[in-house]
Structure 1
Amino acid sequence: MTIQASPLGLHTLLTLHVEDYKKLIEISQFIDFTETILKKYTLEKVGIASHVFDNESYTVAFCLMESHICVHTWPENQNLALDIYLCNYSQDNTQKVRNIAQDYITFFGAKILKQIEVNR
């Protein structure tokens, strides 16, 4: 195992516009899709927390050995905020973060309103 001195990992923050209202209120679709992401990219889940609000929007946080994936939806605005961070402890996960972000953009059929990448 190689320990990376710098950067510690890539943190991507996305604000997305989503036309498909159901994707913003059906939490099970997001959770199921994220489980497939974890398998596809060999990521290890250590916990999950979620909540569905009165307007059916949801928030979900997957805590990973490698860090986290979180989402918050606003169906009334057709927007969501997505947060993906993977550390580079055992390998460089930079491209993996970018690929995961693109997979979510495709899943939601989303238009990027804002995207920020932070090298930790």
Structure 2
Amino acid sequence: MQSLGRHVLAEVYGCRFEVLNDIKKVQDIMVNAALEAGAEVREVVFHKFSPQGVSGVVVISESHLAIHTWPELGYAAVDVFTCGDRVDPWDACNYMAQMFGAESVDASEIKRGMMTEQEERLVVNI
């Protein structure tokens, strides 16, 4: 069976407060993570919370990267979903963790859109 995409869900711990609380830094890191993984960036939307925290999404041709940060805890919830086999979501996830100064990452990958050979033929023929 083949999948349509790969979705990495990451719990990123021990990150630097000053990075996770800076909307510009978080946005730049996420856009660069997408580019480092070979993705094509389409849209970028981020929001800064008061008194702290950032949420955002980078829409890529291959799907998306999303984040919500808790700077006071040094924690970020990250997900990277890529369709096809050209972009590796782990490349983006690892880049973000490094740039956030993470002490540890607990991540897992979910295959999305599992398809049998017959379903694959139907998708191709449509």
TM-score, normalised relative to structure 2? 0.78
CA contact (8 A) 1:14 1:112 kept: no
1:99 aligns with 2:85: no
What corresponds to 2:39 in structure 1?
A: 43
Spell out structure 1 runs of 4+ moving beyond 6 A: none
Contact 1:10 1:97 in 2 (8 A): yes
For residues 62-89 of structure 1, the C-alpha deviation after alignment (integer angstroms, 9 at most, x for no partner) is 111100001100012221101101001x
Q: What is the aligned-residue identity percentage?
A: 24
Deviates more, 1:62-71 or 1:31-40: 31-40
Structure 1 match to 2:3: 7
Which residue of 2 is the match for residue 18 of structure 1?
14
Partner amino acid for 2:41?
A: K
Query: CA RMSD of the aligned region, Å?
Result: 1.8
Aligned length: 112
Helix, strand or coil at the partner of 2:96: helix
Which of 58, 66, 69 is the matching residue for 1:70?
66
> How far 1:11 moved relative to its partner?
0.3
CA offsets 1:91-115 (integer angstroms, 9 cap, x no match): x146x21121111111112133531
In structure 2, give the amino acid aligned to 1:97.
Answer: P
Partner of 1:29: 25
Point out where structure 1 has 5 or more consecutive residues left out of the alignment: none
* 5+ residue gaps, structure 2: 113-126
TM-score w.r.t. the length of structure 1 is: 0.82
Cα deviation, residue 12, structure 1: 0.4
Larger radius of gyration: 2
